[in-house]
A = this chain, B = another copy of it.
């Protein structure tokens, strides 16, 4: 099952807020590249797939949009702006100029997200009513049939939790010494894969209740081609190496390293299609690779590590304590700098997919 291991590149990390220089707002250029790349795709999807006239009859006004896993901005604001402009454009194109709805936008992230920062940086010239919605998108967040459009960009590699087996010392899937499934045993990979399938089923079932029939969901999800083989030279692998090194030096406990696993998962295309089809509430209207500019460039070592830290620094801090976090990422920076492999764009195996799902009629 070695071929099922995924290569978590920094761009696939979930986002965290906060006020320090390691936060997402400061280190989200890669995602910004993706947001720009999806602009045209969102435009096309709304032009071709959103049935404005029928939705109008049901409950188009106000038009409710949710961004799931929004972090603290600014990319969430840019994405929302693109969605609203595309809908306005469509209304105009259909001669429904006078019927352009009011927009209400729900910015969602975990309750630990810095919503104060998000609210303080809301664009002053926004043409929508903005609200913050704290909570896990693996559960219900919104009333039934109350949303028209859901957007989520790079939030879905984050699992609802680390699979229990991989931190259970008595389980065959115990992931000793490692912090992820990538180079782990078959049992660990299967535990992660099962958790992913379960989480996605929860995600899709919750959204199926919340979206009106005909409502759209635009997702940007990092995936790996089916059957990909991976090198061990990835940043997450090196991070695990740094942690073990620090345990060997007695700076952190070995047991702590053994019990630390990242709740992240990059599915294959096939896995993703399978969970959507098994769920049954959505049709896949579009599934395109997203080739944005930043994908072809070689990022600097420092920027890459900052990016990873923005994504998972909080998890490391929570598990190991804040006093060691600088040293962990300093060590990682040195290790990444020594590798000519990791940051070379030619060695990236992931493909970011832009996906449009449509809520089927009941």
> Which A residues lie at the B interface, using CB under 8 A?
61-62, 102-104, 106, 111, 114-116, 119-120, 122, 129-134, 140-144, 146
Q: Which residue of B lies closest to A142 (CB)?
A: B129
In angstroms, Cα B231 to Cα A296, docked, is 75
A102 lies within 8 A of B144 (CB): yes
22 A-B pairs with CB atoms under 8 Å apart are A61-B143, A61-B144, A62-B144, A62-B146, A103-B143, A104-B142, A104-B146, A111-B119, A111-B122, A114-B116, A115-B116, A119-B132, A119-B134, A122-B134, A129-B133, A129-B143, A130-B134, A131-B132, A131-B133, A132-B132, A132-B133, A132-B134
Q: Which residue of B lies closest to A114 (CB)?
A: B116
Residues in B with CB closer than 8 Å to A119 are: 111, 115, 132, 134
Residues in B with CB closer than 8 Å to A131 are: 106, 131-133
Cross-chain contact of A62 among B111, B114, B143 (Cβ < 8 A): B143
Q: Which residue of B lies closest to A144 (CB)?
A: B102
In angstroms, Cα B122 to Cα A103, docked, is 26
Given A102-B144, A132-B133, 19 new contacts (CB under 8 A): A62-B143, A62-B144, A102-B143, A104-B146, A106-B131, A116-B116, A119-B132, A119-B134, A122-B134, A129-B133, A129-B140, A129-B141, A129-B142, A129-B143, A130-B133, A130-B134, A131-B133, A132-B132, A132-B134
Residues in B with CB closer than 8 Å to A140 are: 129
A162 CB to nearest chain B CB (Å): 22
A202 CB to nearest chain B CB (Å): 16
Residues in B with CB closer than 8 Å to A129 are: 133, 140-143
Q: Which residue of B lies closest to A102 (CB)?
A: B143
Q: Which residue of B lies closest to A120 (CB)?
A: B111
In angstroms, Cα B60 to Cα A156, docked, is 33
Q: Which of the listed residues A62, A115, A131, A133 has the most CB atoms from chain B within 10 Å of its own CB?
A: A131
Residues in B with CB closer than 8 Å to A146 are: 62, 104
Residues in B with CB closer than 8 Å to A111 are: 119-120, 122
In angstroms, Cα B269 to Cα A122, docked, is 38
Residues in B with CB closer than 8 Å to A142 are: 104, 129
In angstroms, Cα B61 to Cα A191, docked, is 39
In angstroms, Cα B140 to Cα A130, docked, is 11
